[in-house]
Every structure is written in structure tokens, then in C-alpha cells.
Amino acid sequence: MSVIETLIEKEVELIQLTSSVFTQNLDHLGLVAGTIKQLGLVGRIDELLGENSRATKFVSVGECVAAMILNGLGFTNQALYLVSHFFSNKPVDRLLGGHLKGEYFNDDALSASLDQIAAADPTQFFANIAFPIAMNRKYRRLAARLDSTTFSLEGAYDGFGGSPEEAPQIISVAHGHSKQHRPDLKQITLSMVNTGPGAIPIWSEPLSGNASDKKTFHETIARVRAFQKAIGDSEEFRWVADSALYSKEQLLKSSTDFVWVTRVPETIREAKELTRKSDRELSWKQLTGGYKYHSTTSKFGEIEQRWLLVFSEAAYERESATLEKRIEKEKKTMEKALWHLSNEAFACETDAKKRFLEVVADFTLHQADFSVTTQAKFSKRGRPAKNAQPQDQEVKIVLPEIKENLEIINRLKATKGRFILATNDLDSNAFPDEEILKEYKDLAKLERGFRFLKDPWFMLDKLFLKTPNRIAALTAVMTLGLLVYNVAEYEMRAALKAQHKTLPNQLKKEINNPTLRWVFKLLEGISIATMATDKIVHSAVSNLTELAERIIRLFEHETEMVYGLENTAQQGKARKNGKK
């Protein structure tokens, strides 16, 4: 070993004796924290709650909400009470602020935050945060999309004891129509409204588990409009929702003074007749994406409206496949039923035919011909003796051949892939037919948001909080998480298109519209390396690849600062200004 190598080794040993080196995981959380700071969420929340903005002496409610959003968007599947554990290996100073520590975000702090949000009304709390963001940052558009979903909960939720559990509960945890297909569990309902191409949520309303969309959709619209009036927002929305909105009692009234787009329930006779019409009776107009439509008018409910009969090739293929499975399943069931019937004995043909008709009446997609055979009936079981005389005659049904009921099947097939959209906006120039379909299809953006909240790696998938009030408050927090995610994704895609840039997808193909979830994965491995001595603490971002820096540059200054790129950003601006 050379003298120089020996001296270096001794210097390293000396540093190790007088300092400590550790790393903390940053990964994609810098994007989340940067977006939270960009939107000013912490300040907005604390200003809104005023004197009730402190969760504990160490942290505010706004800071706790930011911590919960980071935990949820960390996709670690950690329960709420493990938030402080989540931050044990994260750079809290960069993510939330230099005056904060991970241990501050304990169960007491988070519970107190949820109680303050519940006391402020989670729906109003969310709207007062989300509406100004959508309006000031120009995310808002004319259309407001409304839908609901349910969240199943473990536990009885039969009673509560102790303060604040004894406070009046905002919602009721109850059994109801389960959209998660868990009728055995109690649930809550979440009604949500979003707007714009970024699907930014502007309204999040927790409801009782047995709430009905047919009623609550109209109540939600009324509450949103009242909120708009209260904040001085005079621009009316065009409301888009599924068929639960469409009813004579609620929607189709002369007093309805808002514009709506919805799907017409197929239980209405006029709708059934329209969907069953042959192609020869319809004037189809072709659209891209495998769609075509026939435009007509209706006065159903004595309200003049535009109806669009829409045909979707994708829906037709999907629904036809489902019909074929139904046909096959019914045939097997019918074969089994008729086999059992063919082994029954009847006193006469009349009784046999009556029973046959009762059985086949349950099968609408198939037909079978009735025929019988008569055979001798002996007094003793088993093979009769050679000279034995029959005691009586018995009638048995011959096992028939089963045939498809082509008339009914073809009639059903003709309706597949078809659905009807309706609007009370009669101006086809200002609101073309094609836009009706586009706005209705955009309801899928709400469904995507619900799937996001129900992701098993997202915190809202498992609700184990003690009271319905805290559950209601948590829905507001987690919908804020969805807002942060959607804003970040929308801004990233807008920057990619504006700058004519791309990012690689999972197949390493360059695209300009990646999901933010995938971009999160591209930032895995970024960490903060810290070396602390008796006199100084020095931190640096490590594992920051060229691709990672490209991604971070798509976001605003707050995100660059989290990743330590603010200096290079300023240098880049200086070079652009001609400073060498």
C-alpha cells in the first residue's frame, strides 16, 4: 500500500469517527410535495380553519393534511396511524418544512386534524379549498361531472362512546346498494364532482351508506349551486351524470333551471321503442372511435329535450359476448331441468303439458317441442313377470331437442351497443350533438378517480377510523390527494406538449401523455444523502439521473427546490439571458 493510500484510509477512518452518514428516501414524493406547495394547500387550509387550525402545539391541520396526502400518494398501503412511521426514513424538512419532524405526525395529531375538518363540515371544507384552485388556475370548464361510489367498512359501527365520538355524526355507516359487491359489509357513499380536461375534483361529499343516487344527485347539484352563489361564482355549470339523474319527479320539472346531460333509463317505454328500431328506420351519423348516432327529440315528462341514440362498436362486441354467455348458460340449465322433467310420471297428457309449459316459461332464449309417451304401470317395482298385467297407464315427457329462440335473440342483439343520451339544451349550434356524447364519455374520468381512491395501495381502500365523522373528514383529505395527483398529471402532460417533449413508457416508447403513476416509478431510487459532523450538516440529492431531471424540470419551481435543482434552474435562465 502506498503512502498516499494509507493517508486516505486514515482520513476516511477519522471522518467516520467524527461524523454520521445516512440516507433518506425521496423518490417521487418531491413531485407530490412540490405540487402541494405550488397549490398553497397548507396555507389555504390553516387560513380556512382560523383559530382551529392547530392540531397540536407542534403541527397545524394544514401540515397534517399534507402529511396524509404524502402518505396516501406514497402508495405504501400504510394505515393512517402509521404516518409517523412512514416519515421515519423520509426527508421531512424538504417535503413539509424544516421546523417539522416525522414524529410530530402521530395518532393524536392526525385524529385532532380530522376532528377539526369534521367540525368545519368536510364538504364545505373541501369546496372552499378546491373551487378557488380550479377557478384561479383556469382548470374549470363549463361541464361539471357528477357521480358517486361506495366504500365498504370493516366493523360494526353500532355505537360510539367518549368525546368526540358522542358528537352528532355527519353520516351514517349503513348497509346499502354496494357498488363494491360487498353487501355483507356496511358502507359509506362518496359523491364527487369534477371539471375540465384534468378531471380536477371540485366537490367531495360524504353520504350515508344507504343513500340513493336518484335523490342525492339532485341534492348535490342544489348544494353546489348554492355554494357558487355564496362565493360569487355566477357561471352556471352544464351538469353531466348517469341515468340516476333522469326522473320525472326530480329532473323533468318546469322548475328545473340548469342545463343537464344524462343517460335515459332503458326502462322507459319510449326509450325501449327507440333502441329496438331497425337501421332502416334510423338516420345514422358516423363518428370516429366506432361510434354513430341518430338524433331526435322527445317530450317525455312534458319537457322538450334532445335525444341521441348512440351505437358503440366496442359496447356492441362486449354486450354481444355477454349475451352469448347468457344463451349458453340458459341452454345448460334448461337441459338439466328438462332431463329431470322427462323422468317424472304423469297421470295424463294434460297434466304433463301443464308442467312442461311451467318449466319452459322460465327460459326465454330457447324453445322446445312437447311430446309424450305412454307406458304401462305395474303394481310392483322391478321387472314385471312374463304374464303380469299392467295396473294402469302413465305418461312421460319425451326429452326434447332444445332450439334457440332466434326471434327474441335477434331482437336482443339489435339493441346491443345502443344507449340514449338526453339534454335539455336544444341549441344544436352552440351545443352540437357530437359534444353531448363527448361530455357523457368524460364521466369515465370520474370513474378513474374512484378507482384511484380504491387502489389497494392507497390509504382510502381501508377505513378503520373510530367514528363516521372522522371517516367523512378523511374522504375530504383523500379527495384532496386525488386533486393533487390530477393537477400534477395535468400540468406534466401540458408541459410535455407545450415543450414538444416526451417520456418513455413501460415499453420504452416515447410518448407525451404518460400517467403520473408511471412517472412516479421512474423516480424510484432518488434519495437524500446527509453527512453530519460536530460543526456542519451537509445534504445532497443522490441517484438523480438525466431522465429524472428531465421529469422534474416539467414541474414548477417548488418541485425543483425539493430536489435541489433551483440553483441549476437559475443558471439555465442566466445562460438564456446571455450571461456566461
Longest dimension (CA), the chain: 123
Q: What's the pLDDT tens digit per position in 166-181?
A: 567 888 888 887 777 7
Helices (H), 499-538: 516-522
> What region does 143 belong to: left with phi over 0, alpha with psi -120 to 50, or beta?
beta
Q: How far, in Å, CA of 331 to CA of 163, rounded?
A: 60
Among 498, 489, 483, CA closest to 519: 489
The reply to whether omega before 201 is within 30° of 0 (cis) is no
pLDDT at 306 over 50: yes
566, 560 in Cβ contact below 8 A?
yes
Please give the average per-residue pLDDT across 462-481, as a whole number: 83
Average pLDDT, whole number, for the chain? 88
Which pLDDT score is estimated for 203? 98
pLDDT at 200 over 60: yes
pLDDT at 66 over 90: yes
Pairing of strands 238-241, 402-404: unpaired
pLDDT at 8 over 60: no
**50 vs 9, higher pLDDT:** 50
Please give the average per-residue pLDDT across 379-387, as a whole number: 69
Q: How far, in Å, CA of 201 to CA of 133, rounded?
A: 10
pLDDT at 316 over 90: yes
Which pLDDT score is estimated for 86? 86
Which pLDDT score is estimated for 388? 67
Which pLDDT score is estimated for 79? 56
Give the side-chain half-sphere CA count within 13 A for 564. Answer: 14
pLDDT band at 159 (very low <50, low <70, confident <90, very high): low
Give the side-chain half-sphere CA count within 13 A for 341. Answer: 24
Which pLDDT score is estimated for 370? 94
Q: What's the pLDDT tens digit per position in 428-446?
A: 999 999 999 999 999 999 9
pLDDT at 506 over 90: yes
527, 502 in Cβ contact below 8 A?
no
Entry field: residues in the chain: 580
Number of Cβ within a 10 Å radius of residue 21? 12
Q: What is the pTM of this model?
A: 0.84
546, 537 in Cβ contact below 8 A?
no
pLDDT at 387 over 90: no
Which pLDDT score is estimated for 455? 78
Which pLDDT score is estimated for 550? 96
Which pLDDT score is estimated for 84? 77
| Beta partners for residue 174, in sequence order | 187
| Beta partners for residue 312, in sequence order | 291
Q: How far, in Å, CA of 382 to CA of 380, rounded?
A: 7
Which pLDDT score is estimated for 532? 78
Please give the average per-residue pLDDT across 304-323, as a whole number: 96
Q: What's the pLDDT tens digit per position in 134-148?
A: 999 999 999 999 999
Pairing of strands 305-312, 291-298: antiparallel
Cell 371539471, located at residue: 195
Helix axes 349-360, 313-342, angle to 10 degrees: 160
DSSP string, 134-163: HHHTT---SEEEEEEEEEEE-S------ST
Long-range Cβ contact pairs of 444-448 (< 8 A, separation 24 or more)? 445/145, 445/194, 445/199, 446/145, 446/146, 446/147, 446/192, 446/194, 446/199, 447/147, 448/199
pLDDT band at 107 (very low <50, low <70, confident <90, very high): confident
pLDDT band at 466 (very low <50, low <70, confident <90, very high): confident
pLDDT band at 457 (very low <50, low <70, confident <90, very high): low
Q: How far, in Å, CA of 66 to CA of 43, rounded?
A: 11
pLDDT at 15 over 50: no
Number of Cβ within a 10 Å radius of residue 442? 19
Among 567, 486, 572, 506, CA closest to 31: 486
Among 439, 556, 560, CA closest to 495: 556
Among 449, 432, 424, 447, CA closest to 238: 424
| Beta partners for residue 320, in sequence order | none
Q: What is the DSSP letter of 562?
A: H
Which pLDDT score is estimated for 315? 95
pLDDT band at 379 (very low <50, low <70, confident <90, very high): low
Q: Report the percentage of the chain scoring pLDDT > 90.
A: 71
Which pLDDT score is estimated for 152? 81
Please give the average per-residue pLDDT across 265-293, as a whole number: 95
Q: What's the pLDDT tens digit per position in 23-51?
A: 899 999 999 999 999 999 999 999 999 99
Which pLDDT score is estimated for 163? 40
